[in-house]
Amino acid sequence: MSKLALVTGATSGIGRAFAERLAADGYDLVIVGRRRERLEEFAAARPGTEVRTVPADLSTDEGIDAVARICADEPLTLLVNNAGVAHYMPLADLPAAKARELINVKVLAPTMISRAAVAGMRDRGRGAIINVAGMIAFSGPAPHSQMPRRAVYAGTLAHLVAMSQTLSAELEGTGVQVEVLCPGVVATEFHERQGLDMSVVPRMTADDVVTAGLRGLELGEVVCAPGVEDARLLDAVFAADLAAFGAQSPELATRYRAG
């Protein structure tokens, strides 16, 4: 049976590394990106692989809808929601257009594209979705001295973590897997496009991130953190989340009661 994967943000970085690996593993591909010439260059370099190129801007409704239609119509084996923009800056300094672009690309696009793909995967009893987020999803409690402020960016990645975990639970027993891939700093063009010099920062390769993501599916991981050696740390985070969730009461907590 043929395998078909759709990868967004496939023209560089992690997305391109996914496309390259999946082509080598025998997948037919649908590759999505803003830069038509890079998509076409990738396809031309792989005459032995069936590659459909889809130029689309996932910061727009038109781009999101075009990719969602493909996901609804095609028998996808794997969906990789990788497209991203950074826009690292405090909320008060973030232009409205950039805030909207970031939310569209990292929240609205993966939500709507996954929605379009998941019904068919469920009906076929097979398939997988990988949502590419990052360890910054867990950085909210960090003080300013430790982590530059980037509230919207961190919030979008946290959305991907929570959505992926919840969607995985919804699909339990259907044969469809969901994983959120959370690398740390990766050696790609991503930071350079934001004018950030990361040359002195230790960085993981995009190939290693892809290796972890695909191996994570084999292991049945829902949250895949390629650079975290002790997986018990993640288990502790999620156990604390559930403990807080389960500790709710209809009674007002003592610390909020007057005098």
Q: Check: CB of residue 75 under 8 Å from CB of residue 120.
A: yes
Residue 124's SS3 state is: helix
Q: What strands lie across the sheet with 78-81, from one edge to the other?
A: 51-55, 27-33, 3-8, 78-81, 127-132, 176-181, 223-224
Q: Which stretch of DSSP H or E encloses residue 38? A: helix 36-44
Amino acid (1-letter code) at residue 101: E
What is the DSSP code string of 53-70?
EEE--TTSHHHHHHHHHH
User: What radius of gyration, in Å, describes the C-alpha atoms of the chain?
Assistant: 19
Q: Check: CB of residue 103 under 8 Å from CB of residue 156.
A: yes
Distance CA 130, CA 57 (A): 20
Distance CA 34, CA 16 (A): 13
Strands (E), the chain: 3-8, 27-33, 51-55, 78-81, 127-132, 176-181, 223-224
Residue 75's SS3 state is: coil
Which residue is catalytic, options 27, 88, 153, 256? Answer: 153
Q: Check: CB of residue 158 under 8 Å from CB of residue 110.
A: no
Annotated catalytic, 153?
yes
Provide the annotated active-site residues. Answer: 153
